Amino acid sequence: MTATSPARTHGGTTDTTPHTGPPAAPGPEHTGSPATRVLGLAALAAVALLVLYGLVVSPPDREMADAVRLMYVHVPAATLLYTGCFFTTLASAMWLWKRTPGWDALAETGAEVALVFAVVTLVTGSLWGRPTWGTYWTWDARLTSTAVLTALLVGYLALRRLDLDPDARSVRAAVLGLLLVPNVVVVNRSVEWWRSLHQGSTLVRLDPQIEGDMLVALMIGFLAGGLVFAWLMVHRFRVAWLAQQADRIDLDAALAARRAEAAAPAERPAPAGRPAGEGVSPA
């Protein structure tokens, strides 16, 4: 389910370009590393195990029959969604404190990965709801909170994509990210309270009698989900890191070009608006 880079045969030499021979080459042209390969393989293995346990070994539930199999994906996805948000808020706080770019990259990573799991949560929750409750959307507390949380994440990522001076963007994103977890907590509490007035009984909770193979399947779901989450976080973090470096390189190149222009005005037409004051030919 998750794709890892084509297998390389060996680890690296001591310099930073282990996968291509001569040190002068640009180096590995991907975000992989021995660690992520191991992680990726472990994730794939766990997912395979989940498929086995979730779809085959574990029994159908007494009340919801086979729809419970969606819970093995839905519940871990919801948990990982919150985990991603936690990373974003924590990284935002750390960035505001330390101002190092790694924290900024982590904040962005957490939010984007969280969004993926949010969509998974909504889709699986809704598909679970259909056979169980009769409708695709039930306005129960968890689904509703997740929907609001998805909106929060979309907003955060929209802010991050703005074409702004990177420092200004990071400050705004950090303040917004810092508020993410508090917002989630407030929203969850309010929605739960609200829905509890209408649905005296269950919210989307697990059958409390979950046990035996069903419990095992759920645990494997958490394990597989967690490994996939970790793999995605590492790769996405590296992408964010590379993007920062690429921006910096572009900026340096643009500055260098400006300086070159300023240093050799005789070769070029005068800058816009300036009459021939430096011995250049009239524009």
Among residue numbers 2 through 41, which ones bind other proteins (CB under 8 A)?
2-3, 5, 12, 16-19, 25-36
Nearer to other proteins, 252 or 278 (CB): 252
In the complex, minimum distance from the CB of residue 271 to other proteins, in angstroms, rounded to a whole number: 23
CA 250/CA 123 separation, integer angstroms? 40
Please provide the DSSP assignment of 108-172 as one string. Answer: HHHHHHHHHHHHHHHHHHHHHHHHHHSSS----HHHHHHHHHHHHHHHHHHHHTS-S-HHHHHHH
In the complex, minimum distance from the CB of residue 29 to other proteins, in angstroms, rounded to a whole number: 4
Per CB under 8 A, 171 contacts other proteins: yes
Per CB under 8 A, 148 contacts other proteins: yes
Long-range contacts of 161-166 (CB under 8 A, 24+ apart): 166/244, 166/247
Contact 112, 173 (CB under 8 A): no
Range 257-276, binding other proteins (CB under 8 A): none
Residues in the chain: 283
Give the residue carrying structure tokens 């394990």: 223
Position among 42, 93, 96, 210 found at the interface with other proteins (CB under 8 A): 96
Nearer to other proteins, 16 or 201 (CB): 16
74-88 burial, b for 16+ CB within 10 Å, e for fewer?
A: bbbbbbbbbbbbebb
Per CB under 8 A, 93 contacts other proteins: no
Range 198-237, binding other proteins (CB under 8 A): 228, 231-232, 235-236
The CA distances from residue 176 to 4, 89, 111, 144, 173, in Å, are: 33, 9, 11, 21, 5
In the complex, minimum distance from the CB of residue 64 to other proteins, in angstroms, rounded to a whole number: 9
Nearer to other proteins, 6 or 279 (CB): 6
Phi–psi pair at 65, nearest 5 degrees: 55, -140
Per CB under 8 A, 176 contacts other proteins: yes
Nearer to other proteins, 31 or 79 (CB): 31
Per CB under 8 A, 124 contacts other proteins: yes
Per CB under 8 A, 175 contacts other proteins: yes
Nearer to other proteins, 167 or 261 (CB): 167
Nearer to other proteins, 99 or 274 (CB): 99
